[in-house]
Amino acid sequence: MGLNFRNSTNAAIFVVFAYPDFSCTPVNYSKAGWYRVNPGQTIQVWSGFAGGNTFFYYAEDDFGRTWQGSYFTQVPENAFDWCWDTGCTTCRNVGLRRIAVSPFVLNYTIDFIRSSSQRKPASTTLRMTLPSKATQEKPILRRVPAKPKRLQQGKPQLQKRITHKKRTK
């Protein structure tokens, strides 16, 4: 049971995800990263019932592809497990995508793909996700996750985190 990330691209992907955490205030979410997902690999980042929870994720590879959204928070280059609002002077702002998992789903997988030709039919337990389009615009408003529902809690799998190797350009 849990939340999984699968890499169906040709390059290693580095992932940050956010999960419900009622010990964090005022935003009841924690963020954890970096998880390295090699091509063809699937890793579990959340152990426990995934259904009914809302998670957030951001990913990037060394070719400059990103899978990002509109929920911005600060992340460091080192392995971390912080409350949503925690930041640092050397952190960078990244936008996370929101994913609401349907109730009664035990396992949920987010599959990173490069092109729409890799898509498969829709499923309640799998989401195939394309890289974001390149954009330079800054967010107008700062979006934060809404308060999560109190459900049976799982826990993040923190032992798989790594220090994110900075891309060189």
- What's the pTM value of the predicted model, to 2 decimals? 0.80
Residue range of the domain that includes 9 = 2-160
Q: Which of 16-30, 85-99, 152-166 is predicted with the least confidence, judged by mean pLDDT?
A: 152-166
pLDDT at 94: 95
Categorize the per-residue pLDDT at 168 as very low, low, confident or very high, splitting at 50, 70 and 90.
Answer: very low
Q: Which 3-state string (H, E, C) describes 70-128?
A: CEEEEECCCCEEEECCCCCCCCEEEEEEEEECCCCCCEEEEEECCCHHHCCCCCCCEEE
**Is the residue at 76 inside a domain?**
yes
State pLDDT tens for residues 41-69. Answer: 999 999 998 999 999 999 999 899 999 99
Q: Is residue 56 part of a domain?
A: yes
Provide the domain count of the chain. Answer: 1
Q: Residue 7: inside a domain, yes or no? A: yes
